[in-house]
Structure 1
């Protein structure tokens, strides 16, 4: 995992808004190395979803690109639509931690057509950037509510506040 600033931020932004899928392929190598202690037998890899309207405007889900590249490298199964973002939220940029958690409460659910894939199984959630943890928390709760065994999270970058 890298810090979301300087070159790390540029790299994430080139994937997220520049459509640079090659970044996902390179990042999957780093994520595989960093995530090795998290990997479990029969693990299911799932990306954090975008709301369909955001997916439409962006044309692809950068977290899904990372998840797909990581699944290919590790051999673990990947379910690109395990989670659905049923509630469109405002952009989280410049929101407080409390606002982020509030906006994302109940925003994600397990896809009813994929529920059978999660029961009793460990899940590895993939996202591009972790800021407050609100998005990953909402996704984790959805997985737990659907009966997964354990939830692990792996992100390409992490926002770090200066102290």
Structure 2
């Protein structure tokens, strides 16, 4: 009696499935071993968490996310919902150069700690989580954008800091939105003073002429709507200066998206 014949290719399929299962088992085992050696910890306070690259419950509670109602121009939150499409008094009295601004959260509590760890603590891995939060907050802006541009650092500051946190966030935002990220579209040609401690007028003067679009990049910007990405929006001076340079470089409009923003209570 002859044994049933195995259809051609069946052994290869079975071998492939076995190999895939083996890889999955090995990956799960490796992850378990790493979890034992390096237990997952909160990215903000280093307390134990259930998942890696996450926040513990107290730190999550310390995040002040910005949701509607907010000023449609500046993205600053309103205390009371008075209806859609409203502008804040600040946006009416002193309209920004950029079209709209959005941020994931207020720059306080856990958010401030996360930004400081990313910016000054060489915690580049935080850009993935912060970038995803930023992308979520800027969905409506990204849907209308043609490309993403990070706020650049001056080459001296980039050399001392070793990476540009805005560019790291912009890469994640662009990937999430399916948009090109043009890291070289805007250059910081003036080495400005630190903005901390300066008044609004001093900030604007400090940033005058600080940004420039390279002639070779004008074709990439011509007639395009740009999504400008930074880590924190404070007074808007940096965003205004960068947006002005992009508009002069041919962009049709500039929206601003940041992980956090300073909110001054009225």
**Could you say which TM-score interval applies, normalised by the shorter chain?**
over 0.9
**Counterpart residue number, 2:185:** 82
1:112 to 2:215 alignment:
yes
TM-score (norm 2): 0.59
For the residues of structure 2 that align with 1:39 and 1:84, how far apart are their CA atoms? 22
The CA deviation at 1:91 is 0.5
Task: Report the count of equivalent residues.
Answer: 163
Tell me if the contact between 1:24 and 1:66 (Cα under 8 Å) persists in the aligned partners. yes
For the residues of structure 2 that align with 1:24 and 1:41, how far apart are their CA atoms? 23
- Regions of 4+ moved over 4 Å: none
* Equivalent runs, 1:77-156 vs 2, <5 Å: 77-156=180-259
Q: Structure 2 stretches of 5 or more lacking a match?
A: 1-103
Helix, strand or coil for the counterpart of 1:113? helix
Structure with larger Rg: 2
Aligned counterpart for 2:122 among listed residues 19, 29, 54: 19
Q: Which has the higher strand share?
A: 1
The CA deviation at 1:161 is 2.4
For the residues of structure 1 that align with 2:265 and 2:142, how far apart are their CA atoms? 31
The CA deviation at 1:137 is 0.3
For the residues of structure 1 that align with 2:260 and 2:144, how far apart are their CA atoms? 25
For the residues of structure 1 that align with 2:211 and 2:166, how far apart are their CA atoms? 15
**Counterpart residue number, 2:263:** 160
Q: RMSD in angstroms over aligned alpha carbons?
A: 1.2
